[in-house]
Amino acid sequence: MNLLFCSAASNGAEWRAALARAFPAARVHACTLSADDAAQAPPQDIDYALLWKPRPQLLQRLGPVKAVFNLGAGIDALAGLDSLPGGVPVVRIEDAGMAEQMSEYVVHAVLREYREFDAYADAQRAGAWRPRERQDKRAFGVGILGIGVLGTAVAAALRPFGFPIAAWSRTRKDLAGVDSYAGTGELAAFLGRCRVLVCMLPLTRETRGLLDRRALSKLPAGAHVVNVARGGLIVDDDLLALLDEGRLGAATLDVFRDEPLAASHAFWHHPRITVTPHISAVTLVEPSVAQIAAKIARLEAGLPITGIVDRKRDY
Ligand code: OXD
């Protein structure tokens, strides 16, 4: 079997070693994403392409592969996807350790807001012993915008704390302890009950810029926006304006339109924005390779697999 491995991540050597262990009989052709790659076609006898943020040219020049594996959860990184024949399955990484990491990050952000740790940090700096009233949990709704594999895990991680949890998705979901809102018609009602809004949507033609001034203004006054999905979901200037006007309370942002976030970007020094460098859930090499190997074994045996991207919807 011939595999193509091409990744823009810095841990290519770790991936190659894990792939060699998982596919001892396969030939793994690794490309480096150097400037020359744009001009070079990959070998034309590849069975499966394993890719993370490849140059669009690479997809355009890919021969007739059996499937493309995206080495992450979000497939917006596969620029040039339109050039692949429609019949080629594109498969994303599902969970593989990401759900646990995402849950840790989001639970921390929600509890930090609910238990007002920032206010206590301010009080400590002032040397002030200043207990605060407990917030009414029934009025502290947490909303998950986008409830796929990772969103479902985050909802389950939040459930024991007793917050009213709502989720919004394209189609209605039936999840224990989660109020489901579906479609654009129910977006405003969903946003209206999110004291903390957790963005977990894929970035597609339909979701780019979804959280603009109009949508963000539907959140309750003082709401906290957590973005662990893609920076392009939010209109940066609208978020900044609503924070500065005091309409929104705070934001915890792990993802940005351009990464790394430019040193001059206003998010870095905003007093009510927490910035982290896209670490809410990193792709773990060993579990991801194990998942890919198991899926390839099923495909080779003619069996169905999960995680196939709906090419019409981009996720
Ligand atoms: C992913 C990511 O999509 O790391 O997996 O953002």
Q: Which domains are present in the chain?
A: 2-96+283-300 (3.40.50.720), 98-275 (3.40.50.720)
Q: pTM (2 decimals)? A: 0.95
Distance 103 CA to ligand 1 centre (A): 14
Q: In the numeric block, which tokens belong to residue 12?
A: 């290519």
292 touches ligand 1 (CB under 6 Å): no
Closest atom of ligand 1 to CA, residue 76: 3
Which residue from 75, 90, 98 has its CB within 8 A of the most atoms of ligand 1, so it is best to mutate? 98
Instruction: Say whether 230 is catalytic.
Output: yes
For ligand 1, atom 2: residue with the closest CA: 72
Indicate which residue of 269, 278, 298, 313 is catalytic.
278
Q: Quick one: pLDDT at residue 191?
A: 98
Q: Is 73 in the pocket of ligand 1 (CB under 6 A)?
A: yes
Would residue 92 show up in a list of annotated catalytic residues for this protein? Answer: no
- Residue 228, φ and ψ in degrees, nearest 5: -120, 15
Residue 37 — pLDDT band, cuts 50, 70, 90? Answer: low
Strands 2-7 and 48-52: what pairing?
Answer: parallel
Q: In the chain, pLDDT over 90 holds for what percent of residues? A: 87
Exposed, middle or buried: residue 174 (CB in 10 Å: 0-12, 13-18, 19+)? Answer: exposed
The atom of ligand 1 lying closest to the CA of 282 is: 4
List pLDDT tens digits, range 50-68: 999 988 888 888 899 999 9
Report in angstroms the alpha-carbon separations of 230 from 40, 74, 194, 211, 282: 30, 8, 19, 11, 13
Q: Tokens for 100?
A: 């646990």
221 C-alpha vs ligand 1 centroid, how far in Å? 31
pLDDT 10s digits, 82-98: 888 888 999 999 999 99
**Mean pLDDT on 229-240:** 98
Q: How far is CA 16 from the centre of its chain?
A: 24
Q: How far is the C-alpha of 240 from the C-alpha of 130, rounded, in Å?
A: 29
Catalytic residue among 55, 92, 193, 230: 230
